[in-house]
Amino acid sequence: MNLDMIRAAAGRLDGHARRTPLLSSPFLDELAGRRVWVKPECLQHTGSFKFRGAFNALAAMDAEVRRRGVIAFSSGNHAQGVALAARMHGVPAVIIMPADSPALKLANTAALGAEVITYDRASEDRDEIGERLSAERGLTLVKPFDEPEVIAGQGTCGLEIAQQAAEQGIETADVLVCCGGGGLSSGIALALEADAPGLRVRTAEPEGFDDVARSLHSGEIERNARTSGNICDAIITPQPGNITFPILKRLCGPGLVVTEDEALAAMGQAFNRLKLVAEPGGAVALAAALFRGDEIRGDDVIVTVSGGNVDPAMFARALETL
Amino acid sequence: MNLDMIRAAAGRLDGHARRTPLLSSPFLDELAGRRVWVKPECLQHTGSFKFRGAFNALAAMDAEVRRRGVIAFSSGNHAQGVALAARMHGVPAVIIMPADSPALKLANTAALGAEVITYDRASEDRDEIGERLSAERGLTLVKPFDEPEVIAGQGTCGLEIAQQAAEQGIETADVLVCCGGGGLSSGIALALEADAPGLRVRTAEPEGFDDVARSLHSGEIERNARTSGNICDAIITPQPGNITFPILKRLCGPGLVVTEDEALAAMGQAFNRLKLVAEPGGAVALAAALFRGDEIRGDDVIVTVSGGNVDPAMFARALETL
């Protein structure tokens, strides 16, 4: 896993992924007490940064391997990213999803051209189903984060941040990144190390699911006690990845942690001041910038809004914070 | 009013206005029955395209005139655009607003650095207040649409559309533009005439407030019977402008008209599929693309989402359409 892979990913994504803008609002600046710069990956294809890594993973495959198709386990943003990336490459995608996934997520993934295979969480083994299908059809697994070409794809977001920060004259700042398994955080950290060494990644996570913050603190991989029961479902993983964590440990500052209420309030501010739809897990970095300012240094802070795939009922809760 | 003024405006806005992206979603394509390309001016500074025209009008002024300050009448998007543009130029702005304007709009305009002067709609004459202040302080009026340098600023959005359409290989398409007084529509039409002659502007308006569609049909300026009583308040004006209408008449196809329910449903789709916050008046062009497809020709349609300044209660109504 190295910078050259991120630069190669940028070449592959050129003309396929969106180059998202860097947004700001004087109202958010006032609320945060410093200038806040927002990288809205909710505007990326499929509504999250996951498309970057998925597209790059497919593009980097040997053509003959890719032609047989890909497989992924996900009920969320990674599923949609892989499904669209496969369709854009003209190859089949199988997405294994729990049978009790929200109907809309099942429908969306299928509408993006993927074959959706559901399993019963109680009685069936997801991995066994995946391995059988992969063997039968020669499918290649695209992992959600602990996979070099996926990290490289997410890292292209960091190359853009480096360039956009330079355009704004920002030389030093914390870059707050919504963090699940660490694919986006580690990719951005590697890109910034090379292109903007004054910018430092800080991970942002929901309270009670702060495995990365604790791991960064102890220096060892720590696990979450639970892996469900938080509105920030998109970024909840059992623990940081074996590939991502050493990168995070080497390059990131202390992790930041926010409450569910802070995430909802940040969604409300993104609606009101940036005209963006953020999902709870995609709003934790903005929440940290707005409500945990005493843990941040500098006149500028850059945050990712990593995704916007939220249902109307949850969004209505965010509107109530205004 | 000519193309050179739009090109000059683009030079003035470079590095100050945002170059908004051109977004799409396979789900919207399926709903519309053709490819839908969205130009999200809700992501522009102050949440609407109005910033473009306001900034250009200030930038084009003689420095000595500008130094004395500007004045505008508006309770909405134009007010915020002028306020921020004046602040960015370091000159005073006075915004005359009805005393019964929503508190948030009054507060936002003031927070952007403008001096807000309210008047009683029943007992006071807005124009008299404006003229007195202008005379006393030497302020220059920035009109909302019937003003060449304002039209030129809005036209920069058309230059971007021409370039972004070419990047996508789109040579012919209808370009649906949310239309009030016609500043954005006429500016875009002039830009496209020069840079993308296969792209044709079609205005979009709310039912019952379709002065531009009727004017295009009759060839003469027609008035609305009412100027209030519709959720698309941002684009309701008494009639097309004296400068904008001849441009619209020469360059635009037949006007499109949508219902309030269609505008709300388009807001819901923008939320769900593009992760954008659109206001009702900013969603009428998308509504026409999605729900009035039989009035449009071609494999591609380009639409503006012209603004996103909507309060949470109205947005909640849009979420209910999903």
CATH number, residue A217: 3.40.50.1100
The closest alpha carbon to A315, from B276, B291, B30, belongs to B276
Interface touch A43/B111, C-beta < 8 Å: no
Answer whether A111 sits within 8 Å of B20, measured CB to CB: no
Of B141, B170, B193, at which residue does a domain stop?
A: B141
Do B58 and B111 sit in the same domain of this protein?
yes
Sheet order of strands, B35-40 included:
B35-40, B300-305, B173-178, B199-206, B256-258
Nearest-CA neighbor of A161 among A29, A305, A289, A279?
A305
Best mutation target, B20, B44, B275, to test chain A (most A CBs within 10 A): B275
Interchain proximity B23–A30, CB inside 8 Å: no
Of A85, A117, A141, the last residue of a domain is A141
Sequence-distant contacts of B221-229: CB under 8 A, at least 24 apart: B221/B245
Contacts of B275 in chain A (CB under 8 A): 40, 42-43, 47, 276-278, 308
Asked which of B117, B141, B165 is the last residue of a domain, the reply is B141
Both structure tokens of A68: 């047989």
Q: Chain B: nearest CA to A127, how far in angstroms?
A: 30
Partners of residue A111 in chain B, C-beta under 8 Å: 26-27, 30
Domain of residue B93, residue span: 51-141
A20 to B19: CB separation less than 8 angstroms, yes or no: no
Phi/psi for B305 (5° steps) reads -105, 100
How far away is chain B from the Cα of A189, in angstroms, using its nearest Cα?
Answer: 25
In whole angstroms, how far apart are CA A124 and each of A120, A142, A144, A311, B144?
5, 21, 21, 28, 63
Write down the pLDDT at residue A28.
97
Taking CA–CA distances from A30, the nearest residue in chain B reads B111
Inform me whether the pLDDT recorded for B102 exceeds 80: no
Residue B272 shares a structural domain with residue B160:
yes
User: Which backbone phi and psi does B131 adopt, to 5 degrees?
Assistant: -65, -40
Per-residue pLDDT reduced to its tens digit, B177-214: 999 999 999 999 999 999 999 999 999 999 999 999 99
Tracing tokens 């290649």 back to the chain, one arrives at A140
In sequence order, what are the residues at sequence separation of 6 or more whose Cβ sits closer than 8 angstroms to the Cβ of residue A159?
A6, A7, A10, A191, A195
Sort out which chain B residues have CB atoms less than 8 A from A281's CB and list them.
none
**Rounded-to-integer distance, Cα B52 and Cα A56, Å:** 36
Q: Residue B106: which pLDDT band, with cuts at 50, 70 and 90?
A: confident
Nearest-Cα residue of chain A relative to residue B42: A275
The partner residue sitting opposite B42, judged by closest CB among A112, A275, A312, is A275
Model-level ipTM above the cut of 0.90: yes
Q: Which residue of chain A is at minimal alpha-carbon distance from B276?
A: A276
Whole-angstrom distance, CA of residue A269 vs CA of residue A24: 12
Q: Quick one: tokens of B202? A: 């079609």
Contact B275 A308 (CB under 8 A): yes
Query: Nearest CA to CA, how far is A118 from chain B (Å)?
Result: 22
Residues from chain A that touch B271, judged by Cβ atoms under 8 A, are 277, 312, 315
Q: Which residues pair with A304 in a beta bridge?
A: A39
| Residue A44 sits in the same domain as residue A58 | no
CA A42 to chain B, closest CA, distance in angstroms equals 6
How close is the nearest chain A Cα to the Cα of B221, in Å?
A: 34
Q: Which of A19, A20, A319 sits opposite B316 (nearest CB)?
A: A319
Kindly state whether residues A132 and A63 are assigned to the same domain: yes
Q: Give residue B272's pLDDT.
A: 97
Closest Cβ–Cβ partner in A19, A277, A322 for B275: A277
Written as one string, the DSSP assignment of B100-159 is TS-HHHHHHHHHTT-EEEEE-TTT--HHHHHHHHHHHHT-EE--SSSSHHHHHHHHHHHH
Q: What's the gap in Å between the CA of B59 and the closest CA on chain A?
A: 20
Closest CA to B20 of B38, B2, B46, B1: B38
Chain pair A-B, CB pairs under 8 angstroms: 70
Q: Residue A220: how many CB atoms within 10 A of its CB?
A: 10
User: Does A157 share its domain with A240?
Assistant: yes
Q: State the amino acid at position A239 in one-letter form.
A: Q
**For the segment B129-165, what is each residue's pLDDT rounded down to a tens digit?**
989 999 999 999 999 999 999 999 999 999 999 999 9
Cβ partners under 8 Å of residue B88, min gap 6 = B16, B55
Distance CA A167, CA A296 (A): 22
The pLDDT of residue B75 is 74
Query: Looking at the structure, do residues A45 and A178 belong to the same domain, yes or no?
Result: yes
- Judgement on whether residues A35 and A171 belong to the same structural domain of the protein: yes
Nearest CB to A312; choose among B19, B27, B322: B322
**Cβ contact, residue pair A20, B21, below 8 Å:** yes
Tell me: do B212 and B81 sit in the same domain.
no
Closest among B4, B314, B304, B13 to B161, alpha carbons compared: B304
Q: Can you give the pLDDT at residue B107? A: 87
Q: Do A271 and B47 touch (CB under 8 A)?
A: no
The position carrying tokens 């920060």 is A165
Same domain (yes/no): A132, A220: no
Q: Do A271 and B312 touch (CB under 8 A)?
A: yes
Least Cα separation, residue B215 to chain A (angstroms): 32
pLDDT in tens, chain A (322 residues): 899 999 999 999 999 999 999 999 999 999 999 999 999 999 999 999 999 999 999 999 999 999 999 999 987 899 999 999 999 999 999 999 988 887 878 888 999 999 999 999 889 888 899 899 999 999 999 999 999 999 999 999 999 999 999 999 999 999 999 999 999 999 999 999 999 999 999 999 999 999 999 999 999 999 999 988 999 988 999 999 999 999 999 999 999 999 999 999 999 999 999 999 999 999 999 999 999 999 999 999 999 999 999 999 999 999 999 9
Q: Are residues A152 and A88 in the same domain?
A: no
**At CB < 8 Å, which residues of chain A contact B?**
18-21, 23, 26-27, 30, 40, 42-43, 47, 84, 108, 111-112, 268, 271-272, 274-278, 308, 312, 315-316, 319-320, 322
Whether residue A269 sits in one domain with residue A158: yes
Q: Indicate if A123 and A78 belong to the same structural domain.
A: yes
Q: Given an 8 Å threshold on Cβ–Cβ distance, is A276 in contact with B271?
A: no
Nearest CA in chain B to A109: B27
With CA atoms as reference, report the closest residue to B202 among B220, B188, B219, B222: B188
Is A23 in Cβ contact with B18 (below 8 Å)?
Answer: yes
Q: What is the mean pLDDT of chain B?
A: 96
Overall domain count for chain B: 2
